[in-house]
Amino acid sequence: MRDLLTDRETAKLLKIKINTLYKTVDFFDKYDDDEWDLIEGEHFEYVQRRGELQERRFTEEGVEALAKYLEGENEGFLSKVIESLTHRKRKRKQLLVSRRITQELIEGEGLVDAIGHLLFVDRKTSINILQTNGLGINNAIHRLARADSLDGQEGLEIDQHFIVAEDGTHAWSQKGIASIALDMNQHSKITKARRAWVSAVGEVIEDCFKKEVKRLESGPTRITNAISKAKRAANNTCQVTGSSKARGKILELDGHHLFDKSTRPDLADLHENILVVQSNIHDDFHSWKRGGKCIPSDFLDYLNEARLDLIDPVNSRAEARYEKLLRKLHKLQINYEGNKLRYA
């Protein structure tokens, strides 16, 4: 399930008012025979269909299509001057494309390999980033493979643009996806809305992947720092039992990821996602859970089903600590469960 942008987030990103956003959307909807179109399921989804204002949420591709149309409507000397000073168009494209990449790498688990500064993702992820289909990507690859039709573009090189995965399929790097996107922009028979997206991907995807490489490389350090920060914030005290470190007292504390690191790497260095607990409790929880992904409610189930002894209903401090823990876990789950991702 896609993590879509709300109408307010979309309007803010486009630097327009909500009313202007929906007037533009109405234009897209009104004419079926022009090259500008917003397709339900591809560019937007309805939050609710009833009422005068049919509220929508937008995909990254939908936002970029709206931006491209608005830029065409307002192209003038002043806008060009502002753009040259702020590079705001490129920043917007980087934000949207990076957002799309984050979703694909977390939800699709499409990362195949990393070679130096190049990340290689599987065919499905490449198709989803480009927002195309099998035929569209195949046609672009075939055109790029023909030396007589490169139109100045570099050819496709193994270990640079693609690698052959263990199952025999091709995995594509940021350089490969950029080449495919540029070819699609020049040669594919697609609508202006789709052309706006592949153009954005071709322009900024290499910068976006460069940031993703840095994020992956810094992951262990960021997580270690986040756990240390969580322990300091908790005053080196177990947030379940209230036990704390003291002189002459041995107390091992761990940082437990309420949303596990494997399925939610976007939350691995988030302070709120780390619960400071005694090491023996941490180990006991994972033994009780028997592997698999973790979410905040799992830890509450563990306390209520297996370790009621850790909750003292008579002790007012213990009761207050448990209520605080409930609020922390409930808030975290509401904010990030399902398709609600955290973006850089």
| Residue-by-residue pLDDT tens, the chain, 344 positions | 578 899 999 999 998 999 999 988 888 877 666 667 888 888 999 987 666 668 899 999 999 999 988 887 555 544 555 555 557 788 899 999 998 998 888 876 788 898 888 999 999 999 999 999 999 999 999 998 885 444 445 678 899 999 998 888 899 999 999 999 999 999 998 888 899 999 999 999 999 998 888 888 888 999 999 999 999 999 999 999 998 877 667 889 999 999 999 888 889 999 999 999 999 999 999 999 988 889 999 999 999 898 888 887 778 888 888 899 999 999 999 999 876 777 76
Helix, strand or coil, per DSSP, at residue 240: coil
Q: What is the DSSP letter of 265?
A: G
Backbone angles phi and psi of 156, in degrees to 5: -95, 125
Helix, strand or coil, per DSSP, at residue 178: helix
Cβ atoms within 10 Å, residue 248: 4
Q: At what angle do helices 60-73 and 192-233 cross, to 10 degrees?
A: 120
Euclidean distance between CA atoms 71 and 149, whole angstroms: 31
Q: How far is CA 234 from the centre of its chain?
A: 29
| Contact assessment for residue 281 and residue 238, using Cβ atoms and an 8 Å cutoff | yes
**By C-alpha distance, which of 86, 136, 106 is closest to 267?**
106
Prediction pTM value: 0.76
Sign of the CA dihedral with 111 first, then 115, 118, and 123 last = negative
According to DSSP, the β-strands at 118-121 and 162-164 are unpaired
Helix, strand or coil, per DSSP, at residue 1: coil
Euclidean distance between CA atoms 89 and 13, whole angstroms: 10
